[in-house]
Amino acid sequence: MSLHSHIDLVFPVHGRTVARDHGYALYAAMSRVIPGIHGASWIGIHGIAGKRLTPETLTLAPMATLRVRVPADKIGAVFALAGATLEVSGQPVEIGAPTVYALAPVAVLDARIVVIRFTGGISKPFDRAAFDRRFIAEAERQLVVHGIRGDLALCGRQRLRVGGQRVIGHSVRVGALSPDDSLKLQIHGLGGKRTMGCGIFRPARIA
C-alpha cells in the first residue's frame, strides 16, 4: 500500500444541531445514501465538526464540515454524499461538494477516541487501572503490527454509544513519528469502529 494512497474528503455541512456523540447515527445515515459503505473497512468517518452548544449538542456554524478518509481510488464511491440530506438522529444535515486534502506527515498525531475490543471482554467490576494497562498494551501491539514506531500516550477516557450500548475508549496521542510512520498511522489507525469516528488520527493541536 502506497503511503500516499489515502486522502481526506471534507464536505461542508448545513443544519442546526447534531448530538456530540453522533458517530453511530451518522454512519447509519451515510449508509442509507451509500449502501456500499455499510461494513466497509476502507472508509474512516471523522464525524461532523461543529461548536459545542451544550454538553450533549453541537451547533452547526456556517463553517461546519464532515471529514471522510478514503483510499484515493474510492473517491467516486462517496461522491454521492454531495447534495444529499442526511437524517442524523432526526436532525437534517445537508451535505455540500467536497474538497480533497492530502494527508500531511507530521510528528504528533491525535485521535479523539480509540476503542479496542479485548479478548474475553472487560472484567466486572470495572477496574480502570487494569483497563488502561490492557488498552496500552494492545494499542502498542497494533503499532508494531503496522511497523510504526512512536510514543503513545492516553489523553483521557471517552465513551461512544453504539446501538444503545456504551463503548469505552480513550483519546490517544502518538508522538515522535517519522514522516513515513505518521502516514502509516493515518492510513491504518488504531482499534475498531473507524466508520463511527474512532481510531482516526489527525495532526495534533499543540499549544
Helix/strand/coil (H, E, C) string of the chain? CCCCCEEEEEEEEECCEEECCCHHHHHHHHHHHCHHHCCCCCCEEEEEECEEEECCEEECCCCCEEEEEEEHHHHHHHHHHCCCEEEECCEEEEECCCEEEECCCCCCEEEEEEECCCCCCCCCCCCHHHHHHHHHHHHHHHHHHCCCCCEEEEEEEEEEEECCEEEEEEEEEEECCCHHHHHHHHHHCCCECHHHCCCCEEECCCC
Q: State the residue range of the domain holding 125.
A: 109-203
Q: Has this prediction a pTM greater than 0.75?
A: yes
What is d(CA 102, CA 4) in angstroms, rounded to the nearest whole number?
8
Q: At which of 84, 102, 120 does a domain end?
A: 102
| pLDDT at residue number 94 | 96
> Per the domain annotation, does 130 fall within a domain?
yes
> Per the domain annotation, does 1 fall within a domain?
no
Kindly state whether residues 72 and 139 are assigned to the same domain.
no
| pLDDT at residue number 18 | 93
Kindly state whether residues 199 and 161 are assigned to the same domain.
yes
| pLDDT at residue number 121 | 60
Kindly state whether residues 115 and 81 are assigned to the same domain.
no
| pLDDT at residue number 120 | 61
> Per the domain annotation, does 36 fall within a domain?
yes
What is d(CA 170, CA 113) in angstroms, rounded to the nearest whole number?
5
Kindly state whether residues 80 and 14 are assigned to the same domain.
yes
- For residue 113, the domain's CATH number is 3.30.70.1210
| pLDDT at residue number 122 | 63
Chunk the chain into consecutive blocks of 10 residues (it has 207) and report each block's average pLDDT, rounded to whole numbers. Answer: 85 93 94 94 92 88 92 93 94 95 96 85 72 92 96 91 85 97 97 95 85
Domain count, the chain: 2
| Identity of the residue numbered 195 | T
- For residue 89, the domain's CATH number is 3.30.70.1890
Kindly state whether residues 98 and 113 are assigned to the same domain.
no
> Per the domain annotation, does 141 fall within a domain?
yes
